[in-house]
Amino acid sequence: MKVLQRVLGAREVLLGACNTGNQTLVSNLCISTILAKPRMDTNEDHPAINNHRALQIWITENLKMLPLPERVHGNFFEECCYVILHSPKAPRGGSRDLHYWIGKETSMESQRAAVTFVQRLQEDLGDQTVLHRESQGHESDCFHSYFHPGVIYRKGGQASALKHVETSLYNVQRLLHIRGRRHVSAIEVALSWNSFNKGGIFLLDLGKVMIQWNGPQTSISEKSRALTLTCSLRDRKRGGRAQIGVVDDENEATNLMHIMEAVLGCRSGSLRASVPNNSVSQQQKVNVRLYHVCEKGTDLVVQELATRPLTQDLLQEEGCYLLDQGGFKIYMWQGRKSSPQDKATAFSRAVGFIQAKGYPNYTNVEVVSEGAESIAFQQLFQAWSKERDGKKHRERNKLKQANVDMGKLHTQPELAAQLRMVDDGSGKVEMWYIQDLQRQPMDPKHHGQLCSGNCYLALYTYQNLGRVRYILYLWQGHQTTIEDTKALNCSAEELDLTYQGALVQEHVTMGREPPHFLAIFQGKLVVFQGRQGSEGNGRKISSNRLFHIQGTESRNTRTMEVQARATSLISSDIFFLFTADVCYLWFGKGCNGDQREMARTVVTVFAGNNTETVLEGQEPPHFWEALGGRAPYPSNKRIGRQRHPEVSSIQPRLFECSNPSGFLVLTEVVFFGQEDLDKHDVMLLDTSQEIFLWLGEATEEKEEAVAWGREYLRTHPAQRSLDTPIILVKQGHEPATFTGWFVTWDPYKWMNNQSYAEVVEGRLEPGSAISEITAEVHNFQLTKHLSDNKAGPSTLLDSKGSQDSPEKEDLELGLNIGGKNRSPNSTSSCSNSVANGNLPRERLMHQAVEDLPQGVDPARREFYLSDSDFQDIFGKSKEEFYSMAKWKQQQEKKKLGFF
């Protein structure tokens, strides 16, 4: 055992530290000084909590915590601390999450103020709150889930800095580095080409012009999500009036590159290489260690209890425990009967442990109380039950035992998901087996008769709401070869191509068949030992074969051949003994009526021999002779079947899969919905009973998907069974067993799929008319000699200075995707009234193209109205108009004379 000792004084002091390999004692290592009492007004009222708001944020300001208005949520100043309270709403309610966020330039005084504020909030909220410590750039997935489309890190943090987040802010010249594939963040960097790299995405923000530069090594998914953040900045900060240009290829985006060079100077040399990805892989998260934290006199002892796999019974309600997940995250668990001292010092103990172990100071900390554990914490254990006495989850038990109306599965996908049944199994079934590495058809008379030495394909066809659906089961026996498995996967891909990618592929391992797979054989699934006959007729049964029958109905019944020995018998189950002369159906003393009724149905598979029913304790001598003689067998224990731990409280978890540096990285999407499924992604949905891998139609990692699912199971801290079914689901072909895990599901969401370029153009055009109109740079005017290669920052002139000097001309910026100019007049001068949108309505309404003022785009003539005229004519603002569907815009323009 490794022991970590600490002495508690007036200020906590760490006396001992341990490393992984051996016991080491180090004296006088101080815990973080943020635990010192802050200099705050002790008479300050407790923070007001609005129970009707899902998200509330406070910021440190002069050693006080001030509430933050919603319009600036997602902006974080580096010199401040923030406290975030999230209260999930129904139907996926649960414990509240309280986050303490530390900026990388935060002062110790601000940290102390935030810690005191968090303690006050905890007093008000009670134990049903999960506490998180977050550090800038290393926040948890739970933290990022609150901020769509991403977070912005801002320089500074004084009171004056908060004023810079107001809407319609144009006096800006900054460069943002946008990072992240799923959880996107942007941080301000030096306004220089030296900040760029080949694998990064950068946003040059000039107020009324925003240029997103995509590195040549960035993925489409990264580009798309970065663009979403860029558009959000434009809409929230500029009222939708800034123009956005996207540089995907510098050689094609010449106009945009000229602007960038005018601001950043001419780039010399090549771009820097991509910054290595520092994402935490699944392999790093696999090792977990549980420590018991207790006081012995004046010493605090941290003693290691167990490593992977952990069990829930290790946590006692009187104690306090620390769980170390490979140095990636630290959990502090408090029992409901733990002392007030333990609860008050849980957070500080975690910080001290991080320092003692030498972990990075940004290591995440999560403090949970008994009964309010997060799902992430629960799934670090082999099994988790809400009932401390080990009783099964009652609601789930009732659901499984109820006589469910299968006709409701089509209209209640949530029921289909929990039962793992798309229908009652009465659809069409076709089967093949792998023989000599080739797919061979099976005689329908022998469907359901499988062999442990073979691989099988079962294609199930059914209808759901008038649409034909398919599930392809890939069944693999325990004695199959690697070559057969490869042939099975190849055959599955061939069938999938035949059905134009419409097959849901479910990988099933012998003994772990899902309920629907069992139901399509009506409970008559029989698995023989050995290999399939050459004609697909199953195994010919020779003398003395013993079969174990398990189940009470068609959804849970399977029959497996076991060794024909007396020791294979289990008193609580039913067995079928085949001999040359007679067959015995053996009922153990512990079996019930449903088991017996189902067993009689299974016996019809072995028709052709006389069947004799035998009760335990009344076996004839021939019965024991066929089993090699009578021998003791377990009378009341179920040791003959393999048990797999399961999480009793069903709550799915959704992850985005990526493989940036050759290892699997999973990013969790907390409080997920259908909108979190992106066509460029591979998403992993873990329901504890099975693993779904959702493939977007544009994803590039289809071949790796199943391997990622197996890697996830292999590296799971709870040591999940590798035989857990893995289901491959494609975008647009999701079964109810998948969609039922989402709160809402729109079956028509995938009908209007667009390419990346179409998505980009569609997002940009309504608000800023990138491809057609022209606009001025509000705070910076560029000289008309912008194309000069020597142009640099000195070519930028203040807009006020330009107005005072008539000889300086404005240069219009007609921006488009990739920086191309579509308007032939986009580089010519035009009057300020055209650029600013102040033309009288008479010059725009009901005018022929040739009669329009110079510089006006005929397709967007309404844009050149003043804001007041636009509101008067259209009855709405420009932002509201351009947010409408394009066909609706066209209708209104035709009706009002602007088409």
pLDDT digits (tens, 9 = 90+) for 733-788: 999 999 999 989 988 888 776 666 766 666 554 433 333 333 343 334 443 333 34
Q: What's the rounded mean pLDDT across residues 333-344?
A: 87
Strands 691-695 and 364-369: unpaired
Lowest mean pLDDT among 85-89, 97-101, 326-330, 551-555: 85-89
**Among the listed residues 213, 207, 286, the one whose alpha carbon sits nearest the alpha carbon of residue 246:** 213
Instruction: Read off the pLDDT band of 18 (50, 70, 90).
Output: very low
Lowest mean pLDDT among 66-80, 273-287, 419-433: 273-287
Sign of CA pseudo-dihedral 391, 91, 724, 492 = positive
Q: Is the pLDDT of residue 400 over 50?
A: no
Q: What's the rounded mean pLDDT across residues 567-578?
A: 92
Lowest mean pLDDT among 180-184, 201-205, 289-293, 789-793: 789-793
Q: Which pLDDT score is estimated for 631?
A: 72
- Structure-block tokens of residue 150: 């991403």
CA distance 313 to 253: 62
Burial of 834 (0-12, 13-18, 19+ CB in 10 A): buried
Instruction: Read off the pLDDT band of 812 (50, 70, 90).
Output: very low
Lowest mean pLDDT among 147-161, 297-311, 385-399, 585-599: 385-399
Q: What's the rounded mean pLDDT across residues 324-334?
A: 93
Q: What's the rounded mean pLDDT across residues 212-219?
A: 92
List pLDDT tens digits, range 479-494. 999 999 999 999 999 9
Classify 340 as helix, strand or coil.
helix
Q: Which helix (H) or strand (E) holds 716?
A: none
Q: Which pLDDT score is estimated for 815?
A: 34
Q: Which pLDDT score is estimated for 867?
A: 82
C-alpha to C-alpha distances, 200 to 197, 215, 276, 281, nearest whole angstrom: 6, 5, 11, 20
Q: Which pLDDT score is estimated for 569?
A: 92
* Helix pair 756-768, 220-237: axis angle to 10 deg: 10
Q: Which pLDDT score is estimated for 736?
A: 94
CA distance 678 to 505: 20
60 and 113 Cβ atoms separated by less than 8 Å? yes
C-alpha to C-alpha distances, 109 to 36, 83, 113, 360, nearest whole angstrom: 9, 15, 6, 21
The C-alpha torsion from 224 through 228 and 234 to 239, rounded to 10°, is 140
Which is higher by pLDDT, 409 or 515? Answer: 515
Strands 467-476 and 455-464: antiparallel
Q: Which pLDDT score is estimated for 534?
A: 57
CA distance 155 to 591: 70
Residue type at 336 in one-letter notation: R
The single residue listed with the structure tokens 């069903």 is 650
Q: Is the pLDDT of residue 57 over 50?
A: yes
Which is higher by pLDDT, 543 or 829? Answer: 543
C-alpha to C-alpha distances, 808 to 1, 255, 796, 811, nearest whole angstrom: 79, 20, 12, 10
Q: What's the rounded mean pLDDT across residues 89-117?
A: 83
Q: Which helix (H) or strand (E) holds 714?
A: helix 705-714
Provide the edge-to-edge strand list for the sheet that holds 174-179: 75-77, 151-154, 185-189, 174-179, 201-205, 209-214, 243-247
CA distance 289 to 322: 8
**Among the listed residues 886, 836, 885, 891, the one whose alpha carbon sits nearest the alpha carbon of residue 864:** 836
- Cβ-based neighbours of 723, under 8 Å, separated by 6 or more: 509, 511, 512, 644
Lowest mean pLDDT among 140-144, 170-174, 277-281: 277-281
Q: What separation, in Å, do the N-terminal and C-terminal C-alpha atoms of the chain show?
A: 80
Q: Is the pLDDT of residue 882 over 50?
A: yes
Q: Is the pLDDT of residue 197 over 70?
A: yes
138 and 376 Cβ atoms separated by less than 8 Å? no
Q: Is the pLDDT of residue 634 over 70?
A: no
Q: Which pLDDT score is estimated for 680?
A: 87
SS in 3 state form for 295-309? EECCEEEEEEEEECC
Q: Which pLDDT score is estimated for 50?
A: 75
Q: Is the pLDDT of residue 609 over 80?
A: no
CA distance 538 to 532: 5
Average per-residue pLDDT for the chain: 79
Q: Is the pLDDT of residue 143 over 70?
A: yes
Q: Which pLDDT score is estimated for 242?
A: 83
Ranked by mean pLDDT, which of 4-13, 568-577, 835-844 comes out on top?
A: 568-577
* 8-state DSSP, 689: S
**Among the listed residues 149, 178, 653, 160, the one whose alpha carbon sits nearest the alpha carbon of residue 375:** 653
Q: What's the rounded mean pLDDT across residues 415-421?
A: 92
Q: Which pLDDT score is estimated for 51?
A: 72
Q: How many CB atoms sit inside 10 A of residue 130's CB?
A: 23
Q: Is the pLDDT of residue 879 over 90?
A: no
Q: What's the rounded mean pLDDT across residues 110-119?
A: 87
Q: How many CB atoms sit inside 10 A of residue 461's CB?
A: 14
Output the furthest CA–CA distance in the chain (Å, rounded).
116
pLDDT above 90: percentage of residues in the chain: 40
The single residue listed with the structure tokens 């900026």 is 103
Which is higher by pLDDT, 452 or 207? Answer: 452
Report CA 840 to chain centroid distance, whole Å.
51
- Name 290's bridge partners: 306, 323
Q: Which pLDDT score is estimated for 779?
A: 39
List pLDDT tens digits, range 288-316. 999 999 888 777 888 999 999 999 999 99
Residue type at 233 in one-letter notation: L
pLDDT above 70: percentage of residues in the chain: 78
Q: Which pLDDT score is estimated for 770?
A: 34
Which is higher by pLDDT, 139 or 633? Answer: 139
